A and B are shown apart, each in its own frame.
Chain A
Amino acid sequence: DIQMTQSPSTLSASVGDSVTITCRASQSIGSWLAWYQQRPGKAPKLLIYKTSILESGVPSRFSGSGSGTEFSLTISGLQPDDFASYYCQQHNSLSHTFGQGTKLEI
């Protein structure tokens, strides 16, 4: 199975900052990577798929990049609602593996 590794596990930032979360795949997944946001006690929410396509309704301060095995999610100008956990997920192979998550905290 393809393994997904996110870094960092925890990230401290302030409102207005820009942050980047990295996701590494154990083998090439092309551009088949998605990002999800999960607030405490809530279900995950799709932010980005196919590396860089923003899901409808997601603010443009979220952006994704990468290919092959190295990917990143950048949030520019953090808003209070952005402090949450973020998960990458490969949608290349049938195992649909998730990363272990990154908690973005103030």
Chain B
Amino acid sequence: EVQLVESGGGLVQPDSSLTLSCAASGFTFDDYAMHWVRQVPGKGLEWVSGISWHGNNIGYADSVRGRFTISRDNARNSLYLQMNSLRVEDMALYYCAKDRDADYVGGIFDYWGQGTPVTVSS
């Protein structure tokens, strides 16, 4: 059974940093691209970032490019999102999602975690 478990969310002040983690199990992690998708409670979904199976092909939404960094550790079956210079508008539930393909450009999210909340407030 595929499982994705996010952690690392919390309450932070504007302009601070936070790192999210996603522990994956139940599939061959290094065969697939992985993504972060966020959702403001009661609102829609926004793709944040994706990384291909080998970690060499990476993409970001314009809203986070230059502030967020996605990475993966295939030996640990883990995905990460380093978030710097956090803004109030980054406040959301952050989901880890598995791609059906090896390259993040595929963009079909077939499994999702339950999300970790990020609150940005002074």
Contact = CB atoms under 8 A, between A and B. Distances in A.
A44 B112 contact: yes
B68 interface: no
Contacts of A83: none
Contacts of A45: 112
B105 interface: yes
Contact of A43 (B35, B107, B108, B112): B112
Interface in B61-103: 61-62, 95, 100
Interface in A87-106: 87, 89-91, 94-101
B14 interface: no
A99 B44 CA distance: 7
Contacts of B61: 95
Contact of A91 (B44, B59, B108, B114): B108
17 contacts: A32-B107, A36-B109, A44-B37, A45-B112, A46-B109, A46-B110, A49-B108, A55-B110, A87-B44, A91-B106, A91-B108, A94-B59, A95-B62, A96-B35, A97-B47, A98-B44, A98-B46
Interface of A: 1, 32, 34, 36, 42-46, 49-50, 55, 87, 89-91, 94-101
Q: Top 9 A-B pairs ranked by shortest CB distance?
A: A91-B107, A43-B112, A96-B47, A96-B107, A98-B45, A49-B108, A100-B44, A46-B110, A94-B59
